[in-house]
Chain A
Amino acid sequence: MSMALWQNLPLLMIVGALMCAAVSSVLKAKAARAVMLGLSILECAGMITLLYFTVSLGESFVFPMGEIGAPFGNELRVGPAEALVGALLALVMLLAVVGGFQQLKRDVRENRTPLYAAVYCLLFAAMVAMTFTNDLFTAYVFIEISTIAACALISARGHGQHIFAAARYMIMNLLGSGLFLLGLSMLYSLTGHLLFPQLGAAVRQLILENRYSMPLYLSFLLMTMGVAIKSALYPFHTWLPSAYSNSTAASSAILSSVVSKMYIFLLIKIFLRAEGTAVFARRIDDVLFLFAMVGIIAGSLHAIVQRHVLRMVAYSSVAQIGYIFLGLALGTREGVAATVFHILAHSAAKSMLFLAGNELRSVSGQNDTFPALRGAAKKAPVAGLAFLVGACSLVGVPLLGGFSSKVFLAQAGIGIGGWRMYVVLAEIVLSTALNVAYMLRAALNLYRDGETDAKEKPASNWPLNAAVSLLMALTVFLGVCGSTVMDWIQKGIALFV
């Protein structure tokens, strides 16, 4: 098969990001920031090109790394689903940096900025590689790279509490990646393969012959547990609130919207391409289902009792991760498609909430308790609107991304029937009510009359306004054109072999 020129993009994007990481670490602060922006724009353009070609051709392609082919060599694989998720995550990373630009200049010391840019580029490389790789062990290596990079993003502000948050993040994530590596090693010792197509075939064969069913089950369970810890499924979320709510705006947005999502997309690939679903389906096991259910409710309840708005937004992530795992736990292709859609909708909404929330906190004197934020939307109107739109999207107001994803999830729930259908539907209704209770309360609080201090109006933060406006447009796009996007996702999932 001859390669078209655009099919070299995945490799170029990974190598480009790695090279930018190396270069930006020795640049001056200003140049390093320029590298961050430039790289993000180029990567977004690359992702969108890949998305255009894979969707319009309706097929996926495999890029072999080097001369040694399968089953020993390493490969990248790009299809519509990978390109779509990659494009959205790249866009969110770009907008997070643009939106958090001014705060970044304020929060991260000048001599540390090049290092911040370096870990940002590393994270970009890890995101692209994890989305596209066809090899389970490569995925593991990039999981660890992204763990280190995310840890540096959390500690970037450099005060004691940030370093402590980073240490806690690191500890929980090491537990997660340890479990993942053990599961991976077991799976490898059972099948002898690491590339997804061969791995899937070997697992199918083992299931057919009914051999090693317990170790097979255990290895998939270990990998799932690992990803669950790393993406903060309740009750493994303890590291999340302080990591998300105290970092600089760009870091919070990236951590909540990109880092946890790329792990989950990897898990989706494991479920569908390495036949994890088939392994789980043979033993009727509702552990994941139960965890997701508990997570949705518990995350919301935690969010309700928070006094700080950004911590509340962080806890709402715990609930949303529950939603994402719920789609996976249904065990059907519709459920997985709904999960992918929710990844997109939640990434757009949550990064917007963190960017806007950080801006609202800074116009209210670095205080994000509910009384302090009263009337903040009048001081920063665009950020206030963005917070409202993000909150509405998570609640599930029609025409916004969160609504479509709840509809798809409910449809997937109805598709499986039985008692689980009723539980899923009841859960969606209940959690929507809880979401209204905290998200809309916070958003409307911004529009109440605050104490009118005679201070001058804060200077408008145009990069942030531009970034959140684009994110709002993205959320509306996901809501209005939900079925088109869903079509792409289903096309991509159908191509997963």
Chain B
Amino acid sequence: MLGRIYTHLDGLTAIVLFGVGFSLLLLDKNLLKKIIGFSMMDSGIYLFLASYGYIESRLAPIYREGISDASAYVNPLPAGLVLTGIVVGVSVTAVMLGLTVRLYEKYHSLDMDEIAEKIRREGK
């Protein structure tokens, strides 16, 4: 059992990170904490992709003189996916932070419930 946990340690860490981030994003009232949760959630997925994309004892996917066998290298695609994912994550975080700044300027609060309450009062 312990051995199996050890071999899948990175996968488990990734799932835990994802779970913590997901719960933060879903349940926390604070907008900034939500954004932190989103970052954690995404990092979990990147860790998952990166760790399963790496095969021990293989080379980085950069051609080396004399080694033309493709099975000597790891697949470059997972790393490419992680990079794309990071770019997407950064832009989404920027948009979320922008919205948060606008909301804070207007309502002087980061608490979702408090902002909702202020908007409701504003409407009346």
Question: From residue 77 to 91 of chain B, which have CB atoms closer than 8 A to chain A?
Answer: 77-78, 81, 84-85, 88, 91
What is the bound-complex CA distance between A61 and B48, given in angstroms? 34
B20 lies within 8 A of chain A by Cβ: no
A167 touching B88, Cβ below 8 Å: no
B96 touching A167, Cβ below 8 Å: yes
Known: A137-B81, A174-B38. A164 touches B103 (CB 8 A): yes
B25 touching A174, Cβ below 8 Å: yes
What is the bound-complex CA distance between A72 and B85, given in angstroms? 18
B22 touching A178, Cβ below 8 Å: yes
A137 touching B84, Cβ below 8 Å: yes
Q: Which of A141, A166, A175 interacts with B99 by CB under 8 Å?
A: A166
B92 touching A174, Cβ below 8 Å: yes
B45 touching A164, Cβ below 8 Å: no
Beta-carbon nearest neighbor of A145 in chain B: B88
Residues from chain A with a CB closer than 8 A to the CB of B81 are 137, 185, 188
The chain A residues found within 8 Å of chain B, CB to CB, are 72, 137, 140-141, 144, 147-148, 151-152, 155, 160-161, 163-164, 166-168, 170-171, 174-175, 178-179, 181-182, 185-186, 188-189, 192, 194
The smallest beta-carbon distance between B34 and chain A, in angstroms, is: 6
Beta-carbon nearest neighbor of A147 in chain B: B92
What is the bound-complex CA distance between A175 and B42, given in angstroms? 10
B84 touching A164, Cβ below 8 Å: no
B88 touching A160, Cβ below 8 Å: no
Q: Which of B25, B34, B78, B122 interacts with A161 by CB under 8 Å?
A: B122
Q: Which of A144, A163, A179, A194 interacts with B102 by CB under 8 Å?
A: A163
Residues from chain B with a CB closer than 8 A to the CB of A164 are 103, 115-116, 119
B22 touching A175, Cβ below 8 Å: yes
The 0/1 profile, CB within 8 Å of A marked 1, for residues 22-40 of chain B is 1001100001001000100
Residues from chain B with a CB closer than 8 A to the CB of A140 are 88
Residues from chain A with a CB closer than 8 A to the CB of B41 are 174, 178
Known: A148-B91, A151-B95, A170-B95. A160 touches B122 (CB 8 A): yes
Q: Which of A167, A178, A194 interacts with B45 by CB under 8 Å?
A: A178
Secondary structure type dominating chain B contacts: helix
Question: From residue 83 to 124 of chain B, which have CB atoms closer than 8 A to chain A?
Answer: 84-85, 88, 91-92, 95-96, 99-100, 102-103, 106-107, 112, 115-116, 118-119, 122-123
B63 lies within 8 A of chain A by Cβ: no
Known: A148-B95, A155-B99, A182-B48. A167 touches B31 (CB 8 A): yes
Question: From residue 42 to 94 of chain B, which have CB atoms closer than 8 A to chain A?
Answer: 42, 44-45, 48-49, 52-53, 75, 77-78, 81, 84-85, 88, 91-92
A-B contacts counted at CB < 8 A amount to 90
Q: How many residues of B contact A (CB 8 A)?
A: 40
What is the bound-complex CA distance between A160 and B121, given in angstroms? 12
What is the bound-complex CA distance between A181 and B78, given in angstroms? 13
Question: From residue 1 to 29 of chain B, which have CB atoms closer than 8 A to chain A?
Answer: 18, 21-22, 25-26
The smallest beta-carbon distance between A195 and chain B, in angstroms, is: 11
The smallest beta-carbon distance between B84 and chain A, in angstroms, is: 6
Q: Which of B25, B42, B100 interacts with A167 by CB under 8 Å?
A: B100
Beta-carbon nearest neighbor of B115 in chain A: A164
Beta-carbon nearest neighbor of B44 in chain A: A182
Residues from chain B with a CB closer than 8 A to the CB of A141 are 84, 88
What is the bound-complex CA distance between A72 and B107, given in angstroms? 49
A163 touching B103, Cβ below 8 Å: yes
Known: A137-B84, A141-B84, A170-B99. A161 touches B92 (CB 8 A): no
Residues from chain B with a CB closer than 8 A to the CB of A175 are 22, 25-26
The smallest beta-carbon distance between A383 and chain B, in angstroms, is: 25
Residues from chain A with a CB closer than 8 A to the CB of B116 are 164
What is the bound-complex CA distance between A160 and B106, given in angstroms? 7
A161 touching B99, Cβ below 8 Å: no
The smallest beta-carbon distance between A139 and chain B, in angstroms, is: 12
Residues from chain A with a CB closer than 8 A to the CB of B18 are 178, 182
B34 touching A171, Cβ below 8 Å: yes
A-B contact pairs, 22 of them (CB 8 A): A140-B88, A141-B84, A148-B95, A155-B99, A160-B106, A160-B115, A160-B118, A161-B123, A163-B102, A164-B103, A170-B99, A175-B22, A178-B18, A178-B25, A178-B45, A179-B22, A185-B45, A185-B49, A185-B52, A188-B78, A189-B48, A194-B77
What is the bound-complex CA distance between A366 and B103, given in angstroms? 24
B119 touching A161, Cβ below 8 Å: yes
Beta-carbon nearest neighbor of B38 in chain A: A174
Beta-carbon nearest neighbor of A169 in chain B: B99
B88 touching A144, Cβ below 8 Å: yes
B103 touching A72, Cβ below 8 Å: no
Residues from chain B with a CB closer than 8 A to the CB of A152 are 95
What is the bound-complex CA distance between A170 and B95, given in angstroms? 9
What is the bound-complex CA distance between A8 and B22, given in angstroms? 41
Residues from chain A with a CB closer than 8 A to the CB of B25 are 171, 174-175, 178
The smallest beta-carbon distance between B119 and chain A, in angstroms, is: 5
